[in-house]
Structure 1
């Protein structure tokens, strides 16, 4: 009998949905007014939201726990502001990473006067205040076609971030294996577009998959230019 890695699928059509005049939000885990007993955080992963923000508008967020916040623009650039007069522009094929303390607020703004933007927002629980400041990381998917592109790789040393984030853009039927960087890590895969088979599970656009008790993750694209986000969560 083939060994199957233990895991849990989070279907796209079972995400929490919140709508207002200036935004749409789909939440894989409990967030805001969305609360489901089956959508509690997975290990350190507390928030995974796919959001759309109307033209010339903004949204403000205030975590209740110390978290690393990752923001990935999907369509259109955006601006992120943690402190007054400290605004950072983040483009497509960039990732914004920042530690945010409990009760500290940050704001995401759509700088376009007549266009909607979309982005992915991820919160990961922090166990200590990091020594390193926030950053904007660059990546290129075309250059890394059919292989994993390290967007936010692990950094060794005191105060390192407790995760590593990669993206994979694959043609149909292309395969690859992801080897975990730490013992006893867990993995969360999220399909940004297309279809994949990940560790024997069929995933479509905006489906998620949590995996644990494994050393490698087998990935196969089932459509062309399929895009997968892979998050390794280091053991607490």
Structure 2
């Protein structure tokens, strides 16, 4: 029988710095909960809001796979590998920090905030060569279906990372749904509702609720409200 863990939206860590408002699903910075350190290889799920013209100054990372998913606005990225890019809603960005990188992220706009998800996944091993990639997705490819946005292979759909992980986005009408079959035995899935409401397996989730599922081959999901969006993150439970 599948095991699950439910994280309601209002139970997340809440850090409001004025220029940045961040909700932390897992322990991060000044938010520490020993019961919420990670879900398998999924280490960080931050729901970030950055004020106009503000952002994260240059800072280092190493030995982490970092995925950014913009939800609103434009986010400018600069890094020590020489990349200067802007990511927008519909884009997916991945950075393998590996042996070490520095980067900055700023709200490109003077008239609207940026909202994005910052996701960290432990890599399959330490010491990878740093790398960067981003792609633009077609929103219609996830209408009433799951669209793969991250995989472990450069030859597969979406961006790729150094881990046996697959991410999917779905945008569903009320009553529509899908079945998800795990890609690798021993993995689990963390489902995060971006908008609306879903039934995932036997559990009902509202906006920004998260549900971890493991020790299962798959599950069904169904949108309970119109215009509902969900992110599924399949990760190894041990590695």
TM-score (norm 1): 0.90
Aligned to 1:135: 133
* Greater mean deviation of Cα atoms: 130-139 or 109-118: 130-139
Aligned to 1:30: 27
Secondary structure in 2 aligned to 1:55? coil
Contact 2:62 2:101 survives alignment (8 Å): no
Aligned to 1:117: 114
| Structure-2 separation of matches of 1:229 and 1:6 | 19
| Structure-2 separation of matches of 1:90 and 1:32 | 24
Contact 1:137 1:152 survives alignment (8 Å): no
Q: Could you tell me which of 169, 176, 179 is aligned with 1:177?
A: 179
Q: Aligned pair in 2 of structure 1 residues 148, 84: CA closer, same or farther (>3 Å)?
A: closer
Aligned to 1:153: 151
* Greater mean deviation of Cα atoms: 122-131 or 87-96: 122-131
| Structure-2 separation of matches of 1:184 and 1:216 | 12
* Greater mean deviation of Cα atoms: 59-68 or 225-234: 59-68
Secondary structure in 2 aligned to 1:79? strand
Q: Aligned pair in 2 of structure 1 residues 63, 163: CA closer, same or farther (>3 Å)?
A: farther
Deviation at 1:137, TM superposition (A): 2.1
Query: CA offsets per residue over residues 121-150 of structure 1, 9 Å max, x none?
Result: 100001334468321022222233100011
Q: Aligned pair in 2 of structure 1 residues 63, 172: CA closer, same or farther (>3 Å)?
A: farther
Aligned to 1:221: 223
Contact 1:192 1:227 survives alignment (8 Å): yes
> Any unmatched runs of 5+ in structure 1?
none
Q: Aligned pair in 2 of structure 1 residues 29, 50: CA closer, same or farther (>3 Å)?
A: same
Aligned to 2:199: 197
Deviation at 1:84, TM superposition (A): 7.3
TM-score (norm 2): 0.89
Deviation at 1:85, TM superposition (A): 4.9
| Structure-1 separation of matches of 2:56 and 2:154 | 33
> Any unmatched runs of 5+ in structure 2?
156-160
- May I ask how many residue pairs the two structures share in their alignment? 232
Aligned CA RMSD, in angstroms, stands at 2.2
| Structure-2 separation of matches of 1:138 and 1:222 | 28
Contact 2:6 2:210 survives alignment (8 Å): yes
Contact 2:98 2:128 survives alignment (8 Å): no
| Structure-2 separation of matches of 1:195 and 1:168 | 12
Q: Aligned pair in 2 of structure 1 residues 110, 64: CA closer, same or farther (>3 Å)?
A: closer
Q: Aligned pair in 2 of structure 1 residues 63, 9: CA closer, same or farther (>3 Å)?
A: farther
Aligned to 2:211: 209
